[in-house]
Structure 1
Amino acid sequence: MAVVAVLAGAVVLAACGSSGTETRASTAPVERATISLGVSGAGTMAASSSRNLGFAAGGLLTSVDVQVGDTVKAGQRLARVDSFQLRQLVVQQKANLAAQKAALAKLENSPSLRGARNSLAQARTIRNATSSQVAATKRADRVAVSRANSALNSAQSALAACTSDCSSLQAAVVSAQTAVSSAEQALKVATAAGTVSVATAEQGVVTAQNAANSAASDRPYSITQQKAAVTTAQSLVDVAEHNLSLATLTAPFDGTVTAINGAVGEYLTASTGTSAEAPGTDAAVPGTTVVAGTSATNRAGGTQFMVISATGPMTAVVPFQELDAAEIVAGQTAALSFDALPDVTTAGTVTAISPSGTALGGSMSYLVTVSLDTTDKRLKEGMTVHATVSTQEKKDVLSVPNAAVRTENGQSVVTLVDATGAQRTVAFTAGLVGPDRTEVVSGLAEGDQVLVPSATTH
């Protein structure tokens, strides 16, 4: 029973020498455990997503509707700059659009083509009437000529048959000859005048036809051209309205306002600053300095008017030395602790590792993003975080405390303590060596008690 009591509690071994020191020891069982190896680094906490906000064209700041620390919803108005000129430009462009649409409607509803075609029809009617009139005049004049010739023939026959006083018949012949000459002359005049009238009417038809052809040919191209002008005017309206909308700053997502650099009445410059993003996320790399011109600024948010960070789980952004970074891949687990919150520890998962390094302290470092499995409301952006990424892991393997293991002649050995308290040195094959335990590949059995030196006293 005494032996059992010794094994159940601490086995104390005293080795006194000339120095007066005493080494205290205890036993520990060979048992199954999870052994992991990892690499460690210190970094900074960051929001899972952050955004620098500002005004594309700058301007006079007329309102700020939030304060630093406010929680905002996507689409919520945050601030505005003076928009008088932008509003007037919208009015001007809309007026121009209305004018272009009116011009298009005028072209589409214009009676010019219909009028040209009506004029052509009228010209053809006039030409046909003129031709008919000329033909009728010619027929009448020909009849008059025929009648005059008949009268002349009759007068000449009567004169030829006259045997006594024929002076009256002679006068009748002369009169008839004069009538024939007059009728023939009238026919010639009517023929010439008719030719001119018909030609004039035909020219009117040609002119009307040309006008109708021109109106029919130009109309579709004029309408197409005016439609293009309407499209251009509409695009100018869209641009003006878009620029007007940029005078109001809204939240791009649900989040918290983390920085505001501007007060009502101040003039803001156009927003041009950008932020370096942590690998694999929309989170800005914490602690990066935004450069404005040739000098750096350390004010919150850099040169940006406002910064908003997304609500929800946070991420840790940790630089690792190149030798350690070479062992890290996405999906590995990590243990996280925080200087500001010593009572808080949490697990996380490696999201991504930067493909390119940054020279820090004379060596290359690579940024690693670790997403937290849980979120403590006390965690804030910028807090220091210590991350240990598990690069190798074996679960449910036999193991002994590292303090029990020593090396003799190049072999890993432990001191076994049996049920009687007797001790003997046993060699074993060691596997993975973790921070506090060593894997037992062979040479020891589960439940074996090994000696573990625990302290040295004087």
Structure 2
Amino acid sequence: MEKSKIWVFVSVLCAMFVLVACAPGSGGSPTPTPLPPVSSYEKSIFTVEEGPIVEEKQLMGEIVPSRQEELFFRASGFVTRVSVKQGDVVKKGTVLAEMQVDDLLNQLQQARIDLEVAQANLAKDKAQREYDIQKATAEVTIWKMRVADAQLDYDRAVGIQKEKALLNLNIAKENLALAEAALKLVQENTNPYMEQAVKRSQLAVERLEGLLAERQIVAPFDCVVLRAIIRPGQQVDAFFVVFVVGDPSELIVRSPYDFDLASKMTDKIEVNLYFDSKDEKGYTVSYLPNFLPVTTNKEATTTRSSGDYFYFSLPKEIQQQDLKVGRTVFLKVILGRKEKALLLPPSAIREYKGLRFVIVQDGEKRRRVEVNEIGLKGTDKWEIVADLKPGDKVVGP
């Protein structure tokens, strides 16, 4: 019974504390509920202006060689050596990469030795033949002179001396005929085996050089390596492009292709180049439609097309020290400009079901005005064609 009284007393005491805590005026003042901020009506009012406008497109560009070449192996296999990396400058004839060619090099060296031996034997045979021809020619000349002398003796001889002179003349003529026959034989006598040996050796060298060339990639001119995508030990298919090199003596600017911009690009369009995004001074560059710096090689399996980039020429007044392959530049394409146009911020224009319009504030009244056309689009204002005049107040959405 005593325990029940104690529990009742505790319960009543707790209830009193709760009532006191919730009573008005007890403790500090209650925290008021914050009111939502009131939007400023004036901030949503825009004024129609009349003035100049320029529509431009910003592009990022990169300086690259105007002459480029895609390089590849002409045989499939494993790469054993790669001697360059992207950005390296190399001389013409430098071996950039190769497959396993040790056996081919040994065979080629032996084939070249065989060719030199065959050529030496042929040269020796030709020298001997020239000597024999000269010797036979001299014999013919000598016997012609002897025939002439014998003929002279015969013409002068009389009596019994004439018969002897005739005999000598006939002998001289026979010897001349033999000398001429010997000369003809020497002239016609060639050794086809020697020439065939040289041809066989030459074909062997050319075949091995071809096999070696299929397994090596050599710089076609003094160039800079623009792209390298192989490493030693990698298996590569024939005709798969693994290097792109360029001639650093002639440079252009390329920028990633923009489909929305493509229809507006012509060779007459105004384009300015800046080396820094904050530069005020720019250089005028020319757009190069349908330009393709990469040599189109039908053997290559990854030949690019002109649709990958926009290309622009560089003016001659740019200092050479500013022109470095791979340098990033900034391009500003001027799509149009007008000295006098009606202008509104794009945020003032409403759109519903594809129709654009604005709400004009006329005193206490408002009216809807259709926007017939959006013209040039500037950085913060657009050109509009509508039944508006400068100074009209437009209520924002």
User: TM-score, normalised on structure 2?
Assistant: 0.51
2:139 aligned partner: 115
Query: Do structure 1's residue 399 and structure 2's residue 342 form an aligned pair?
Result: yes
Residue identity in the other structure for 1:369 = Y
CA distance in 2, matches of 1:50, 1:378: 17
Distance 1:260 1:93, change over 3 A: farther
Distance 1:92 1:24, change over 3 A: same
Query: Do structure 1's residue 449 and structure 2's residue 391 form an aligned pair?
Result: yes
Distance 1:126 1:238, change over 3 A: farther
Alignment of 1:144-223 (within 5 A): 194=163, 198=166, 201-202=169-170, 204-209=172-177, 211-212=179-180, 215=183
Deviations 1:292-334 (A, max 9, x none): xxxxxxxxxxx3454446666552353748xx86554345467
Equivalent residue of 2:288, what SS?
A: strand
Answer whether contact 1:26 1:453 (CA < 8 A) is retained: yes
Query: Do structure 1's residue 69 and structure 2's residue 69 form an aligned pair?
Result: no
- Of residues 433, 438, 454, the one that matches 2:383 is 438
Give the structure with higher Rg (CA).
Answer: 1
Deviations 1:51-97 (A, max 9, x none): 3324557788664322x435223424423544232333333334444
2:255 aligned partner: 316
Deviations 1:370-392 (A, max 9, x none): 13679996869xxxxxx9976x5
Distance 1:119 1:353, change over 3 A: closer
Distance 1:424 1:108, change over 3 A: farther
Distance 1:198 1:69, change over 3 A: same
RMSD of equivalent CA atoms? 6.2
Distance 1:198 1:93, change over 3 A: same
Query: Do structure 1's residue 263 and structure 2's residue 232 form an aligned pair?
Result: yes
CA distance in 2, matches of 1:102, 1:60: 45
Equivalent residue of 1:315, what SS?
A: strand
Answer whether contact 2:53 2:340 (CA < 8 A) is retained: yes
CA distance in 2, matches of 1:61, 1:411: 62
CA distance in 2, matches of 1:310, 1:120: 69
Answer whether contact 1:93 1:236 (CA < 8 A) is retained: no
Distance 1:428 1:329, change over 3 A: same
Q: Deviation at 1:118?
A: 1.1
Q: Deviation at 1:98?
A: 3.9
Answer whether contact 1:124 1:205 (CA < 8 A) is retained: no
Equivalent residue of 1:449, what SS?
A: coil
Distance 1:34 1:47, change over 3 A: same
CA distance in 2, matches of 1:90, 1:261: 32
Distance 1:238 1:133, change over 3 A: farther
- Of residues 33, 40, 52, the one that matches 1:32 is 52
Equivalent residue of 1:115, what SS?
A: helix
1:190 aligned partner: none
CA distance in 2, matches of 1:411, 1:319: 26
1:352 aligned partner: 289
Distance 1:402 1:126, change over 3 A: same
Equivalent residue of 1:111, what SS?
A: helix
Mark the runs of 5 or more structure 1 residues left unpaired by the alignment: 1-10, 15-22, 139-193, 274-302, 337-341, 356-364, 381-386
CA distance in 1, matches of 2:50, 2:364: 17
CA distance in 2, matches of 1:214, 1:369: 76
Residue identity in the other structure for 1:32 = P
Q: Number of paired residues? A: 308
Answer whether contact 1:416 1:449 (CA < 8 A) is retained: no
CA distance in 1, matches of 2:185, 2:384: 94
CA distance in 1, matches of 2:112, 2:120: 12
Distance 1:451 1:103, change over 3 A: farther
Query: Do structure 1's residue 84 and structure 2's residue 106 form an aligned pair?
Result: yes
Mark the runs of 5 or more structure 2 residues left unpaired by the alignment: 1-38, 293-304, 315-322
Alignment of 1:205-354 (within 5 A): 205-209=173-177, 211-212=179-180, 215=183, 246=213, 249-250=218-219, 252-256=221-225, 258-261=227-230, 263=232, 271=238, 273=239, 303-308=240-245, 315-318=254-257, 320=259, 328-332=265-269, 350-353=287-290
1:276 aligned partner: none
Equivalent residue of 2:54, what SS?
A: strand
Worse-matched range after superposition: 47-56 or 237-246: 237-246
CA distance in 2, matches of 1:368, 1:63: 31
Worse-matched range after superposition: 425-434 or 85-94: 425-434
CA distance in 2, matches of 1:216, 1:32: 97
Q: Deviation at 1:449?
A: 2.9
Deviations 1:354-375 (A, max 9, x none): 99xxxxxxxxx99263136799
Answer whether contact 2:60 2:255 (CA < 8 A) is retained: yes
- Of residues 303, 307, 311, the one that matches 1:371 is 311
Answer whether contact 2:53 2:383 (CA < 8 A) is retained: no
| Identity level (%) | 13
CA distance in 2, matches of 1:222, 1:393: 84
Residue identity in the other structure for 2:137 = L
Answer whether contact 2:361 2:395 (CA < 8 A) is retained: no
Equivalent residue of 2:257, what SS?
A: strand
